[in-house]
Amino acid sequence: MTASCIIRHFEHYAELGEKDRELLASLEKTPKDYSKGTLIWQEGMDADHFYTVRSGWACSLRNMEDGSRQVVDLYVPGDVVGLRDFAFRRRASNLLTVTDASLCPFPKRRLTDVFASSRLLCNLFFLIAARDQAILVERLTNLGRRSAREKVAHFLLEMAHRLDKACVDVHDCNHLPLTQVLLADALGLSTVHVNRTLNELKQESLTALGPDGISLLDRDGLKEVAGFDPEYLDEDVESLLRSIGARAPGQQA
């Protein structure tokens, strides 16, 4: 019955009251479907909505003056996209679908209503924003201080880990629908070098390359390569809920 994607996502974190559900449901618009490679928004456009990813993948990216691109983040089902434009009138990056995808828009300005009427939702939104930051910080260190090999391994592991947690209707969390171009733009590398690196990892049976993406074959091996520690992806929801007197999902009253 809960077709709303934002409700479904938030129920992942906490038991929502009837009031909270109504509030979210009333603000969420009907989902929109986009085919692979669609530009959902563009730098400079009015930042009037944020979105929840219902299915498929998307990514946000910046176009540089010299024609190169920087992929800032990828989004998988369940992710909330666009919160960081809360502080700005216009979008600072592009949003592009990586696969066919379905997203649910939510008017940005109404966020303040949510904050005002639900303590729980307000805190959850803040939690999400904090987690987004943690991800950016990790990607930052990835770009700044790791070798290409480590970068690739680390990034793949992160996405797989995020898929694990999103796993609602995902068949295979070890398969990522990423092109090598996308990986390169996310990691600040050239496509050629991503290809070299990926082949290297393939030789070692750590990954496999399909026509429609990349598969992780040996997560432990990759972890070793990358020095990956997923702590930055595992928010401490429990103690937040406790401190505001809310219930975890599925927990009895």
Partner DNA sequence: GCGACGACATAACATAGGTTATGACAGGTA
Partner DNA sequence: TACCTGTCATAACCTATGTTATGTCGTCGC
Within the chain, how many helices (H) and strands (E) appear? 9, 11
Burial 98-125 (b: 16+ CB within 10 A, else e): bbebbbbbbebeebeebeeebebbbbbb
Binding window for its own copies (CB under 8 A); candidates: 4-12, 17-25, 216-224, 236-244: 236-244
E-state strands within 86-188: 94-97, 101-107, 175-176
Site mask for DNA (CB under 7 A), range 95-134, x = bound: ----------------------------------------
φ/ψ (deg, to 5) at 32:
-115, 140
Q: Which of 26, 35, 42, 112 binds its own copies (CB under 8 A)?
A: 112
> Min. distance of Cβ 28 from its own copies in angstroms?
19
Q: Which does 171 bind (CB under 5 to 8 A by kind): DNA, its own copies, none?
A: none
Binding mask 67-86 for DNA (x = CB under 7 A): --------------------
Give the Cα separation of 189 and 211 in Å (integer). 21
CA gap 112, 170 in Å, rounded:
32
Residues lying near its own copies in the complex (CB under 8 A): 62, 64-65, 68-70, 72, 83-90, 92-93, 109, 111-112, 115-116, 119, 122-123, 125-134, 136-137, 139-141, 143-146, 185-188, 227, 231-232, 235-236, 239-240, 243-244
